[in-house]
Amino acid sequence: MTTTRFAPSPTGYIHVGNLRTALFNYLIARQAGGTFILRIDDTDPERSKEEYVDAIKEDLEWLGLTWDRVERQSERLDRYAEEADKLRSMGRFYEAFETPTELDLKRKKQLNMGKPPVYDRAALELSDDEKSKLRAERGGHWRFLLDHARIEWTDGILGDLSIDAASVSDPVLIRGDGQVLYTLASVVDDTDMGITHVVRGSDHVTNTATQIQMIEAIGGTVPSFAHHSLLTGPQGEALSKRLGTLALRDLREQGVEPMALLSLMARLGSSDPVEVRGSMQDLIDGFDLSKFGSAPTKFDKDDLFPLSATVLHGTDLSKVKTDLDALGVPADLQDQFWTVARENITTRHDIAAWWVLCRDGADPVIDPDDAEFVAQALAMLPDAPFEADSWKTWTTAVKEATGRKGRGLFMPLRKALTGMDHGPDMSALMPLLQTVRAKA
Ligand code: GLU
């Protein structure tokens, strides 16, 4: 049974980069009729905040990415301790005592000598006496002893990968203060929860190599791994520093439609074109991980707005009824109003301005050259309410009376009624116009 997980650390709001990971794992599970787990990686009690856990759930709910169950690492510390003991008894876990400064110094020396900055396993040479002394002095942390062989896997996106374990430091799994680190927790969880597929960012490739050995050591089944490329800005610039400004809640605030965001993220970086999908099921059916490439993926927030407009153009009244009710659009006008408005908005925030225009009329825009013509035409305009044929009847009469036609006839009248030189078909707008301010 296909089981995937999205495993955010609740140390901040989730952003477009996290969304990519969440969405891919969600789509893989749903496509296979499997299970999608929301795993909260909260082993760091200092940085993990409950408000972020709530915010992550809220953001995923907004997008419709529903999970089958929630798991919390903070509730599984006993399991991690058990597996740590197991690794210890197998001789795959060893205590080391270097301080961060000492480790830093070692790395610098190695780099100066042109060597890769890999932990030298000096702790393995310590006698029991030395260890007791150091433990009492400064406390120790625990590392996983990698088997210095090549670690190989076929990545769902990157293809065949082979990493020499000797080029990687033995990962620290338990800190000096006893805190279990993500790598151990993740491996135990992936094994216990029967995770079959893990998709995550390519910044995790080295982690994956070490985790494969750890999963094998604790007797788990290695899931199939895939690493998606990282997002960059539109010019290819690193996005990592700016991701904070691309939080999902900010995009929601700016009026981005969930399906616009999902449609973009499910295709960006793949060989398939980005197209707005009508439903989550379409998105699930059309998803293919093998179409994604390893090159960094350019993300431009501005792309979300035309896509949001497209989503809204195809949105039924039933989906915006609450918004229209809140704006006070009378029930009998909602259908006609939405038909007109949805063609002329980029986000839902724009709906209000159209309703205000219909309800209160617009400040007229009248070019001096057209002033006389417009005055003559307005004198021929009956009072609101208007009908479906009001625009045609009126402009035909004005045309006969003034001899104007085409753009010279229609544009000044549109500007006088709406204050704009563009917008909806006037025949459709007229029945919604409750007031013509130019007439007052
Ligand atoms: N909490 C980890 C992260 O946010 C999860 C990585 C993983 O998917 O294993 O980077």
pLDDT of 360: 96
In the chain, ranges of CATH 3.40.50.620 domains: 3-231
pLDDT at 241: 73
Of 327, 299, 322, 141, nearest to 232 (Cα)?
Answer: 299
Q: Which atom of ligand 1 is nearest to the CA of 186?
A: 9
CA 257 to centroid of ligand 1, rounded, Å:
26
pLDDT in tens, 327-363: 999 999 999 999 999 999 999 999 999 999 999 999 9
Beta strand 231-232 with 224-228: parallel, antiparallel or unpaired? unpaired
Question: How many whole angstroms from 8 Cα to the centroid of ligand 1?
Answer: 6
Q: Give distance in angstroms: CA of 42 to centre of ligand 1.
A: 11
Task: For residue 107, report the distance from its CA to the centre of ligand 1, in Å.
Answer: 25
Per CATH, the number for 3-231 is 3.40.50.620
Q: Tell how far the Cα of 7 is from the centroid of ligand 1, in angstroms.
A: 5
CB 182 less than 6 A from any atom of ligand 1: yes
Residues of the chain with CATH 1.10.10: 361-439
Taken in order 369, 373, 379, 380, is the CA torsion positive or negative? negative
Ligand 1 atom nearest to CA at 207: 9
Q: Is the pLDDT of residue 196 over 80?
A: yes
pLDDT at 242 over 80: no
| Predicted pLDDT of residue 245 | 76
pLDDT tens digits, residue range 47-56? 999 999 999 9
Q: For the segment 284-295, what is each residue's pLDDT rounded down to a tens digit? A: 999 999 999 999
pLDDT value at residue 111: 96
User: 9 C-alpha vs ligand 1 centroid, how far in Å?
Assistant: 7
Percentage of the chain exceeding pLDDT 90: 96
pLDDT in tens, 266-277: 999 999 999 999
Protein residue with least CA distance to atom 3, ligand 1: 8
Question: Using CA atoms, how far apart are residues 151 and 180, in angstroms rounded to an integer?
Answer: 24
Confidence of residue 406 (pLDDT cuts 50, 70, 90): very high
* pTM over cut 0.75: yes
Q: Is the CB of 185 under 6 A from ligand 1?
A: no
Pocket test for ligand 1, best of 37, 73, 186 (most atoms within 8 A of CB): 186
Given pLDDT bands bounded at 50, 70 and 90, which one contains residue 439?
Answer: confident
Distance, CA of 18 to CA of 33 (rounded, Å): 23
What CATH number has the domain spanning 361-439? Answer: 1.10.10
Answer whether 5 contacts ligand 1 (Cβ < 6 A): no
As a whole number of angstroms, the distance between CA 225 and CA 292 comes to 14
For the chain, residues classed under CATH 1.10.1160.10 are 233-313
For ligand 1, whether the C-beta of 270 sits within 6 Å is no
Tens of pLDDT along 116-165?
999 999 999 999 999 999 999 999 999 999 999 999 999 999 999 999 99
C-alpha 220/C-alpha 213 separation (Å) is: 10
The answer to whether the CB of 276 falls within 8 A of the CB of 263 is yes
DSSP 9-30: -SSS--BHHHHHHHHHHHHHHH
Across-strand partners of 228?
201
Q: Which residue is closest in CA terms to ligand 1's atom 4?
A: 8
If you measure from the C-alpha of residue 3 to the centroid of ligand 1, how many angstroms do you get, rounded to a whole number?
16
User: Domain 233-313 classified CATH 3.30.70.20?
Assistant: no
